[in-house]
Amino acid sequence: MAQGEYNPMLRWGGLENIAPFSNFSGKGAVAVGSLPGISPYGAFDMAGNVREWCWNKTPKGRSLRGGAWSDPPCMFNSLSQAPPMDRSPKNGFRCALYPSPEKIPKEAFQEERIPEDEFPDL
């Protein structure tokens, strides 16, 4: 079982429990750890700070996950896409350390097909 897999904060309520501690409706990105929002995996300020660039290719570039500081809280768990050279201040990334990289399923890095009418570019 992964750390956070059965976290009651996300399992029973999710967004309602995280959004009040996030940077949604902020004026810009904040320093990591400056807000009380923490994920079940121990990562700070994941909701409403910056959208996270992902490795996965999409029809229009690369995938982005989550909502940024100027997005509405409903973007908390969203998926979007942008060209890889897009340098919007709403886009960012986190470095990750995988203690057992061989356990990551290859599907995690596959291209994501995002229907244009379902997830518009932001």
Reduced 3-state DSSP string for 49-95: ECEEEEEEEECCEEEEECCECCCCHHHHHCEEEECCCCCCCCEECCC
Task: Read off the pTM.
Answer: 0.71
Q: Cα–chain-centroid distance for residue 116?
A: 19
pLDDT by residue (tens digit) across 67-104?
899 988 888 888 899 999 999 999 998 777 888 989 98
pLDDT exceeds 70 at position 110: yes
Q: Which domains, from first to last, does the chain contain?
A: 8-109 (3.90.1580.10)
pLDDT given at position 16: 63
Q: What is the pLDDT of residues 9-54, one digit of tens each?
A: 444 445 666 777 888 888 899 888 888 877 777 777 777 889 999 9
